[in-house]
Amino acid sequence: MKRRIALCLSLLLLAALSACNKGLNKEQNTIEQEITEQKTEENSEIAENKTDSKVNPDAITVSNVAELIKAIAPDSHIILAPGNYNFSKVTQEEIVLSSDYVNKEYLQEYESLLISDVTGLTLEASEDGKVELVTENGGASVLEIRKSENVMLRGLTCGHEVEKGTCSGGVLYAEDCKNLTVENCRLYGCGTEGIWTQRVDGLNVKGTEIFECSESVFSFDETGAIFDNCRFHDNYGDYLFYFSDGSDILVMDTKICDNQGYMMLDYSEFGDDTDNRHITFRNCTFKDNSRINRAPVFPYATFVNCEFPNDSVSSAVGTAYDKLVERFYNLASDPYSIVDIAEYGEFGVIESARSMEENALAGIGYTIEDLSGDGIPELVVGTLPEYGGQINAVYTLVDDCPEFVFEGWYRSSYSYLGDGRFYYYGSSGASETGQGYFSLSKDGTTLNCEEFYFTHAEKEDYSDLKVYYNTTGSWDIKASDESDMTLDMFRDLEPFSSEELSLTSFADYELERGPQAPLQDGSLILREID
């Protein structure tokens, strides 16, 4: 809230400044007159500073903040020489000479660089980590970009040169922008968020550190963003991530460590609509965070193949599925330990393990992913792609407890198609073969039939096979419609490809878990959801 109030006050002040004085004051006008003849010479100097760049041979090299603010323009590639670029140290003369794409009033008032209405701008450090953009005004963002497209920031360090924890401004702010890239940068706060955006389409953050922020790593409003191979560390706000309506965020291959805040605020507790906001953490590592020990369950958050090494429940699993995973591991290790009827979900694993023999641990595995899209991860147990890629069992969480959803085995098999959908193939004999498409319900508790086809012989010699159709998954011809589909058309129903789930083999699970005592209660009572 304080950030939004601050922004509103900033905009009001800026409007007042513009209304009172559209140009500069009399002193500034005098300065401008004195240096008018110098502008041509200064611009020629910029042209002479063009240097070779691996990205753009026409790049301009600047060595101080005055040259930087003068060079900013559309379709320009600016190389910043090593050094400290302090926006609080810019003189009045330098402000007057600055680019038309730099807000002069804002720079003077807030000691912050506001770039607007520019397309195709790249600001690149000549050496990563050797260029620092700073302000001594703790109430302003270090760098703001508005109404711009195709802007690249590469190799820059940005932050506030004030006492830690005293800021009310963030590091990077963007508004009404498209295609903004932040690559190999270091964004540090003395106070608020590393990145704050409103209405940004296509924010890509790569190889970037965000640290020492007191409110959040990022705060997004109507923003689509991808973080790739980043690091968020030593932040100490109450919540690490804020995002509101219309935001779709992917954080992948990122380390989130040594932070003090909670993961994020659960807006659903306040009755907010969460259907049009979502965040996915994929292949991320959460380590040594004081208040984040396991994946939280939010309706708008998904965790895919993430690691929570500090999870006190189970370092190998990190969810409420730990006992189930352990049980399936034991079944894969010794499939002959079960001689009677198995629990729901176990038959396919036992069948696969017995057929694989010594390869069972390598060939059978599990993953914990949100397949239904409700923010609650499902447990999927099956064979790895090189061993067939079949789904043996699927569970979800109801009231934080594992619940059986469906299972598959050799003659009644499922393969994953993506987006919570499955292809089914089954057979009960020479004349009866069925196949179809199924999908998980929104809450992940039910497998719903989309379309199901099966064959049935009208004669005992199976010479007259007919194809039947329904949307219930039933093999009952009385509850189905006879189809005009030929047998060739029936065979062509099988999809050409399926999506491979990234399963962790039980051989790898064995290495991760280490030696453990067997569970005291080897049985699990699971109820089937109707």
Name 269's Cβ contacts closer than 8 Å, sequence gap at least 6: none
Residue 317 in domain = no
Assess whether 261 and 136 both reside in one domain.
yes
Distance (Å, whole) CA 341 – CA 351:
12
Residue 331 in domain = yes
Assess whether 137 and 245 both reside in one domain.
yes
Tokens of 350: 């036992």
Picking from 284, 310, 336, the residue at the C-terminal end of a domain is 284
Cα torsion angle, 504, 510, 516, 518, sign: positive
Assess whether 341 and 268 both reside in one domain.
no
Distance (Å, whole) CA 184 – CA 209:
8
Assess whether 113 and 247 both reside in one domain.
yes
Assess whether 343 and 195 both reside in one domain.
no
CA-to-CA separations, 370 to 303, 306, 312, 327, 380, in angstroms, rounded? 7, 12, 22, 21, 10
Assess whether 384 and 249 both reside in one domain.
no
Total tally of structural domains belonging to the chain: 2
Distance (Å, whole) CA 131 – CA 510:
46
Residue 32 in domain = yes
Concatenate the DSSP letters of all residues of 353-390 into one string.
Answer: HHHHGGGHHHHEEEEEE-SSSSS-PEEEEEE-GGGT--
| Predicted pLDDT of residue 205 | 98
First to last CA, the chain: 45
Assess whether 203 and 339 both reside in one domain.
no
Assess whether 82 and 158 both reside in one domain.
yes
Residue 183 in domain = yes
Residue 306 in domain = no
Task: Check if the beta carbon of residue 146 is closer than 8 Å to that of residue 132.
Answer: no
| Predicted pLDDT of residue 501 | 83
| Predicted pLDDT of residue 252 | 96
Assess whether 62 and 168 both reside in one domain.
yes
Residue 313 in domain = no
φ/ψ of 15, rounded to 5, equals -65, -40
Task: Check if the beta carbon of residue 196 is closer than 8 Å to that of residue 182.
Answer: no
Residue 294 in domain = no
Residue pointed to by tokens 């109820």:
527
| Predicted pLDDT of residue 48 | 45
Q: What is the dihedral of CA 262, 266, 267, 269, to 10 degrees?
A: -130
- Tens place of pLDDT per residue across the chain (530 aa): 444 444 444 444 444 444 434 444 444 444 445 444 544 454 444 444 444 444 567 889 999 999 999 999 999 999 999 999 999 999 999 999 999 999 999 999 999 999 999 999 999 999 888 999 999 998 899 999 999 999 999 999 999 988 876 778 899 999 999 999 999 999 998 768 999 999 999 999 999 999 999 889 999 999 999 999 999 999 988 889 988 878 999 999 999 999 988 888 756 555 555 568 889 999 999 988 877 766 776 778 888 889 887 553 333 334 578 888 888 999 999 998 865 556 778 999 999 999 999 999 999 999 988 899 888 889 999 999 889 899 999 999 988 789 999 999 988 999 999 889 999 999 877 678 999 999 999 999 999 999 999 998 876 666 678 999 999 999 999 999 999 888 889 888 887 666 778 888 998 888 766 555 444 333 333 333 33
Picking from 261, 284, 307, the residue at the C-terminal end of a domain is 284
| CATH number, domain with residue 220 | 2.160.20
Tokens of 47: 């042209």
Distance (Å, whole) CA 314 – CA 28:
66
Assess whether 100 and 186 both reside in one domain.
yes
Assess whether 165 and 58 both reside in one domain.
yes
Q: What is the domain extent for residue 393?
A: 322-513
CA-to-CA separations, 520 to 323, 333, 514, in angstroms, rounded? 11, 17, 17
Residue 201 in domain = yes
Q: What is the dihedral of CA 161, 165, 170, 171, to 10 degrees?
A: 40
Assess whether 167 and 280 both reside in one domain.
yes
If DSSP states are collapsed to H, E and C, what string results for 79-96? EECCEEEEHHHCCHHHHH
Buried b (16+ CB within 10 A) or exposed e, 8-36: eebeeebeebeeeeeebeeebeebeeeee
Question: Between vectors from CA 220 to CA 219 and to CA 226, what angle results, nearest 5°?
Answer: 105
Tokens of 288: 């040594």
| Predicted pLDDT of residue 401 | 86
Q: Is 115 helix (H, G, I), strand (E, B) or coil?
A: strand
Pairing status of strand 285-287 against strand 378-383? unpaired
Give Cα 85 distance to the centre of its chain: 32
Task: Check if the beta carbon of residue 382 is closer than 8 Å to that of residue 389.
Answer: yes
